[in-house]
Amino acid sequence: MNINATLLGQVIWFALFVWFCMKFVWPPIIGALTERKQKIADGLNAADRAARDLELAQAKASSNLHEAKEKAAEIIEAANRRANQILDEAKANAKAEGDRLVAKAQAEIEQEINQAREQLRKEVSALALQGAEQVLGAEVNRDAHKQLLEQLAAEL
């Protein structure tokens, strides 16, 4: 066999092989590569969207957290104001109750002083009557001199 004929046969068979590959093998491979390329592009786009969504979610979460902190601070401040108001009311009530108790105690003291004075007047009038009896040497009739004794007790 001649090398030229062999070379020519190989060229023909190679051309048939290239045509066969281009017609039957190459399209499915190109289709698979194109499909894979599209899947990769879709995946990258989805990753970009997910990253943007994550950034938006983080910004929203940060905003919500900031609002929640502000609301919590407002609630705490309102609670402190209410606590101070309750304390002030309790102090005012305690002061009023203390003043009322002091006034009641002063009224009781005044009443006891008046009772003691009245008792002292009775005792003084009895002592004065007894002293007068001894000075006069005679018994003084209480019923007859009742008005005089009351006047004496009132003066004392």
Domain regions of the chain by residue span? 47-155
DSSP notation for 23-58: IIIHHHHHHHHHHHHHHHHHHHHHHHHHHHHHHHHH
Query: 3-12, 14-23, 91-100: which has the minimum mean pLDDT?
Result: 3-12
Residues 6+ apart with CB under 8 A from 153: 121, 122, 124, 125
At 117 the pLDDT is 86
Q: What are 31's two structure tokens?
A: 């289709």
Rounded average pLDDT over 132-155:
65
At 83 the pLDDT is 95
Residues 6+ apart with CB under 8 A from 152: 125, 128
Encode pLDDT of 69-98 as tens digits.
999 999 999 999 999 999 999 999 999 999
At 2 the pLDDT is 75
d(CA 109, CA 106): 5
d(CA 43, CA 50): 10
Asked if 133 and 139 touch (Cβ cutoff 8 Å), the reply is: yes
Encode pLDDT of 108-118 as tens digits.
999 999 999 88
